[in-house]
């Protein structure tokens, strides 16, 4: 049996939820317990923990776990608003999510809820969005994700009821749409969301949705845009360059995309001052090109470099991230930009490049040495 008297005086002691450090000067003092912490500090501890959980698993509803995890009334009441700051309604294998029943039974608004994640079929989406304006008066972030369990013919079309509700939310600053390809209401415009600052479009099979939403972004505060698509960039898509500070683009068939984007930028005549773009995240368009063919004269390389040159000429980009690199063309220097503070390069795995392909980083070393 371990005798506590044999432990060093600075040993960590854990006892009934109390964590502390024994002092060499005063071994009789009680360790500081979690329950003795002030309310504000307890709130900050749980908020930081919850933020990480939401980033990893936004479809999980944290309050479901919280309700059964704690029996201490004080801690429960202190942390309840924190764990209600994010609400997720995800049907999964449950035809009627418990959280939706919980929300429908709320007589008072949930004023601490800031973010809402909805991944349900069209019927439940209509119910959830109808509840949102009353229940979440302080909502700032909304994610609408197409349900994997919805087998209806229009499952990839965002319903008119959903877009009709969006302007009724008081201050939505961030909107993320996943898995939807188009809008049922083709007349819906972002100008109906004047507070919107961030728009993320992900997992769509086409770019019809991005064309519809970005048709007229005037009247919004939009400054951050992310588009992840399994389709090529359509020539009809024009980005709001004059207001964007952060842009992420991940397309298939990127070669044509960068040609279109370069022409779009070069065609801007109304904005003579520097563009506000500071962060750019793009993918190299030569993943399918053999290692030996990646040269400065290859059309895929020329399109990509031409686009970056125009961006650097029109904006003071401070952060550049290039993904999907298999190599860097020999004798082609990395583009320089006076304001560039961070350069991040992401390489594809060897299984994608082929085992016989040389180390791609070696092709970049001459450029980095003079950077």
**Residue 216, helix vs strand vs coil:** coil
Strand order across the 115-119 sheet = 86-90, 115-119, 141-145, 174-178, 198-204, 224-229, 246-250, 279-283, 319-325, 342-347
In whole angstroms, give the CA distance from residue 89 to residue 57. Answer: 12
Q: Which two tokens stand for residue 326?
A: 């298999």
Task: Identify any residues that bridge with 201 across adjacent strands, giving them in sequence order.
Answer: 177, 227
Indicate if the pLDDT at residue 299 is higher than 50: yes
Q: Parallel, antiparallel, or unpaired for β 182-183 and 157-158? A: parallel
Query: Domain extents for the chain?
Result: 98-369
Which pLDDT band holds residue 3 (cuts at 50, 70, 90)?
Answer: very low
Name the residue with higher pLDDT: 354 or 122: 122
Residue 30 clears pLDDT 60, i.e. is over it: yes
pLDDT in tens, 197-234: 999 998 877 778 888 888 877 778 999 999 988 777 77
For a pLDDT cut of 90, what percent of the chain falls above it? 30
Verdict on whether the full-model pTM lies above 0.85: no
* pLDDT for position 193: 92
Question: Strand pairing partners for 86?
Answer: 115
4-8, 206-210, 299-303: the lowest-pLDDT one:
4-8
Query: What is the mean pLDDT of the segment spanning 319-333?
Result: 85
Over residues 148-184, the pLDDT tens digits come to: 777 777 888 999 999 999 999 988 999 999 999 999 9
Q: In whole angstroms, what is the distance from residue 179 CA to residue 120 CA?
A: 12
pLDDT tens-digit map of 81-108:
888 889 988 876 566 677 888 888 888 9
DSSP state of 292: G
pLDDT exceeds cutoff 50 at 10: no
CA separation for the pair 50, 146 (Å, rounded): 24
What is the structure's pLDDT at 13? 37
CATH 3.80.10 matches 98-369: yes
């Amino acid at each position: 049996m371990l005798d506590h008297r044999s432990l060093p005086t600075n040993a960590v002691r854990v006892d009934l939820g109390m964590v502390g450090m024994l002092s060499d000067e005063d071994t009789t003092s009680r360790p500081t317990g979690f329950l003795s912490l002030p309310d504000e500090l307890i709130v900050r501890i749980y908020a930081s923990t919850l933020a990480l959980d939401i980033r990893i698993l936004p479809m999980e509803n944290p309050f479901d776990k919280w309700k059964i995890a704690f029996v201490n009334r004080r801690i429960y009441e202190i942390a309840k608003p924190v764990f209600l700051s994010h609400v997720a309604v995800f049907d999964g294998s449950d035809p009627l999510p418990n959280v939706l029943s919980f929300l429908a039974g709320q007589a008072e608004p949930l004023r601490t809820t800031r973010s809402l994640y909805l991944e349900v079929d069209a019927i439940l989406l209509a119910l959830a969005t109808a509840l949102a304006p009353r229940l979440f008066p302080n909502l700032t972030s909304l994610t609408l994700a197409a349900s994997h369990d919805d087998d209806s013919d229009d499952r990839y079309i965002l319903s008119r009821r959903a877009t009709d509700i969006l302007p009724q939310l008081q201050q939505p600053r961030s909107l993320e749409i996943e898995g939807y390809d188009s809008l049922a209401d083709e007349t819906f415009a972002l100008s109906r969301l004047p507070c919107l600052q961030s728009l993320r479009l992900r997992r769509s099979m086409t770019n019809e949705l991005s064309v519809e939403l970005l048709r007229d972004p005037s009247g919004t505060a939009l400054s951050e845009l992310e588009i992840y698509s399994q389709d090529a960039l359509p020539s009809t898509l024009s980005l709001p360059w004059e207001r964007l500070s952060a842009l992420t683009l991940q397309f298939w068939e990127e070669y044509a995309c960068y040609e279109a984007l370069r022409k779009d930028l070069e065609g801007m005549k109304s904005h003579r001052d520097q563009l506000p773009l500071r962060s750019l995240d793009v993918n190299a368009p030569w993943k399918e090109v053999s290692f030996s063919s990646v040269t400065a004269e290859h059309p895929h390389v020329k399109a990509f470099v031409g686009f970056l040159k125009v961006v650097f000429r029109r904006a003071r980009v401070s952060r550049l991230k290039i993904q999907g690199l298999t190599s860097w063309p020999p004798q082609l220097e990395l583009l320089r930009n006076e304001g560039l503070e961070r350069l991040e390069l992401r390489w594809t795995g060897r299984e994608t490049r082929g085992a016989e392909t040389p180390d791609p980083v070696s092709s970049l070393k001459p450029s980095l040495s003079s950077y």
